[in-house]
Structure 1
Amino acid sequence: MEFEIPWDALFGGVLLGLSASLLLLLNGRIAGISGIVSGLLKPENGEVLWRVLFVIGMVFSALLAPKLGFELPQSLPVSSFFWVGIAGLLVGIGTKIGNGCTSGHGICGMGRLSGRSIVATCVFMAVAVATVFVRLHLL
């Protein structure tokens, strides 16, 4: 069996690391999406422009990637917008309780060897595994 390198994932990971590093080095900020978006909802100290540009960059990169030859993962069918809304609400509550999201803790915090982020990421992963198990085997 031959191993094929997932170039799209590798390139995406490099871009994530580069953008997170640049934001930290040039702006002194962590590239945690929940923190960036919540800062747009309650702006402080005129820190709106870079947050808006960051979010616009995320949205447009997803639109631009297929035009550059990158394949996006297939979307799962949405069975109910009600459940999608509930899931979004729970994610928002979880990021507030956890003081950050998977991008802030899992990418940036673990890269800085933050103990709090390492624990948070382990909890995220354990809950994800439990959720998949329950969904596939008990529901």
Structure 2
Amino acid sequence: MENFTPWSALAGGALLGLSAALLMLFSGKTAGISGIIGGLLNPQKHESSWRAAFLTGMIASFLIVAPFGFELPDTAGHSIVIVSFAGLLVGFGSRLGNGCTSGHGIIGLGRFSKRSLFATITFMGAAFTVVFIRSLLGGL
């Protein structure tokens, strides 16, 4: 279990929750990533600046944590076509599910949304199933 990192996972989850709470507290906006990106692609008046700032901060956060030994996942050897296709499928699924895992799991559950509860149960069930099947197949 060399990939099990409970402390960094706990810190990451706490920072996600804190950022979502601060965004909601100070602006009344929700921090679902697919909704933020969707709002940039289909902009409304006075909505683009905070969305762009949020995404810029999210991307630039790597520069803050890199000196502490955190690294981005190694993507060498992965086909850019397959990764891009997977990204499109995730985007389609987010649209189909009216939100992404961050929107439903962090924001929706925090707001006691029944739809988000069922969506999160579905996400987690699918994740458990994939991990279980991969372990049966020898970690492929």
Compute the TM-score of the two structures, normalised by the length of structure 1.
Answer: 0.84
CA distance 1:36–1:127, shift in 2 (3 Å): same
The one-character-per-residue Cα deviations of 1:61-100 (angstroms, maximum 9, x if unpaired) are: 0122012x14236435442111111111110100001000
Gaps of 5+ in 1: none
For residues 3-22 of structure 1, the aligned pairs below 5 Å read: 6-22=6-22
For residues 1-139 of structure 1, the aligned pairs below 5 Å read: 6-67=6-67, 69-72=68-71, 74-75=73-74, 77-135=76-134, 137=136
Deviates more, 1:30-39 or 1:127-136: 127-136
Shift of 1:105: 0.4
Looking at structure 2, the residues matched to 135 and 77 of structure 1 have their Cα atoms a distance apart, in angstroms, of: 21
Looking at structure 1, the residues matched to 73 and 81 of structure 2 have their Cα atoms a distance apart, in angstroms, of: 21
Looking at structure 2, the residues matched to 45 and 123 of structure 1 have their Cα atoms a distance apart, in angstroms, of: 34
CA distance 1:30–1:72, shift in 2 (3 Å): same
Check the 8 A contact 1:8/1:71 in 2, yes or no. no
Looking at structure 2, the residues matched to 6 and 73 of structure 1 have their Cα atoms a distance apart, in angstroms, of: 17
Check the 8 A contact 1:34/1:101 in 2, yes or no. yes
Alignment-mate amino acid for residue 30 of structure 1:
T
Deviates more, 1:92-101 or 1:18-27: 18-27
How many pairs align?
134
Identity across matched positions, percent: 51
Gaps of 5+ in 2: none
Shift of 1:36: 0.2
Task: After the TM superposition, list the runs of 4 or more consecutive aligned residues in structure 1 that deviate by more than 6 angstroms.
Answer: none
